[in-house]
């Protein structure tokens, strides 16, 4: 299949960072696939669509972002009004404008450990950099110190795969950056370079189990559930008997 923006998310031949992270969380969840996007995900997608110039199409595809009753009927719901503020912030920040000025939503395919793999980049500047926009709740702790949200949410895995697939297609191993903008008041922001040593370690982590997850998806290997997520609980045949010690030690 020739991947385009129209069929990218319908494709099931290629693995992606998103599908990999689902399987990493739980193999049963990975088989089920993506559910309905959360409000937080839609806010991020709203900003993505604005930056790439496809906001009208996004709004048409997601009427749920518009209030349908009361005094605000026909207006954007409150959380998406914040997204408008974020978009305006990006428009007026010269650093973010520079880093997000590359080609938008560029699709490439390749292989990781012989598994067909696809990527879709927010902002790709050939021979210069790969830049990814993230709309976060916060990027600092209560004291204002920056926190490592990149490892927490697997963004290092994402950008490592992006870098590898771009390298396979172009021969260029480009630097990668996270362009983070928050939904706080006031809006906070940072452009964060991910060191190559972190990317190498993240790619190695993906390589370690990607083939297994691909075999699970193809039905070659039976899935092993985590036993804790909603998908696993829905498949549970009997109530588990557990020890309080396991709970205290974080086993459940």
Parent domain of 186 = 17-224
Q: Is residue 76 part of a domain?
A: yes
Q: Is residue 5 part of a domain?
A: no
Chain centroid to Cα 153, Å, comes to 8
Q: Is residue 234 part of a domain?
A: no
Average pLDDT over residues 206-231: 94
Label residue 38 by pLDDT band (50, 70, 90): confident
Summarised one tens digit per residue, pLDDT across range 159-191 is 999 999 999 999 999 999 999 999 999 999 999
Summarised one tens digit per residue, pLDDT across range 64-91 is 998 888 788 888 888 889 999 999 999 9
Q: What is the pTM of this model?
A: 0.90
Indicate which CATH number applies to the domain containing 96: 3.90.320.10
- Report how far apart, in Å, the C-alpha atoms of 92 and of each of 46, 103, 162 are: 18, 19, 28
Give counts: helices (H), strands (E), the chain: 11, 5
Residue 148: φ, ψ to 5° = -85, 75
Q: Which residue has the higher pLDDT, 149 or 250?
A: 149
Q: Yes or no: say if 220 and 213 are a contact pair by the CB < 8 Å rule.
A: no
Q: Is residue 144 part of a domain?
A: yes
Q: Is residue 250 part of a domain?
A: no
Q: Is residue 187 part of a domain?
A: yes
| Side-chain-side CA neighbours of residue 107 (13 Å) | 14
Q: Is residue 4 part of a domain?
A: no
Q: For residue 50, what are its two tokens?
A: 């604005």
Domain count, the chain: 1
Q: Is residue 247 part of a domain?
A: no
Q: Yes or no: say if 184 and 88 are a contact pair by the CB < 8 Å rule.
A: no
């Amino acid at each position: 299949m020739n991947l385009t923006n129209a069929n990218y998310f319908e494709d099931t031949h290629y693995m992606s960072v998103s599908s990999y992270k689902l399987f990493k969380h739980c193999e049963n969840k990975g088989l089920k696939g993506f559910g309905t996007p959360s409000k937080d995900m839609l806010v991020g997608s709203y900003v993505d669509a604005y930056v790439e110039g496809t906001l009208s199409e996004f709004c048409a595809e997601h009427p749920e972002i518009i209030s349908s009753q009361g005094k605000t009927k026909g207006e954007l719901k409150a959380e998406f009004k914040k997204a408008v503020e974020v978009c305006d912030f990006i428009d007026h920040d010269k650093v973010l404008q520079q880093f997000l000025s590359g080609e938008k939503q560029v699709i490439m395919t390749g292989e990781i450990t012989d598994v067909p793999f696809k990527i879709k980049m927010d902002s790709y500047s050939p021979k210069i950099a790969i830049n990814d926009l993230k709309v976060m709740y916060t990027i600092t702790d209560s004291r204002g110190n920056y926190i490592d949200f990149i490892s927490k949410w697997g963004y290092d895995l994402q950008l490592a795969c992006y870098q590898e697939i771009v390298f396979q297609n172009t021969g260029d191993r480009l630097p990668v950056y996270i362009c983070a903008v928050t939904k706080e008041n006031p809006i906070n922001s940072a452009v964060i370079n991910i060191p190559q040593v972190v990317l190498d370690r993240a790619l190695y982590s993906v390589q370690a189990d990607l083939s297994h997850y691909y075999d699970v998806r193809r039905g070659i290997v039976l899935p092993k559930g985590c036993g804790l997520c909603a998908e696993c609980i829905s498949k549970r045949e009997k109530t588990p008997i557990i020890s309080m010690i396991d709970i205290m030690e974080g086993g459940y």
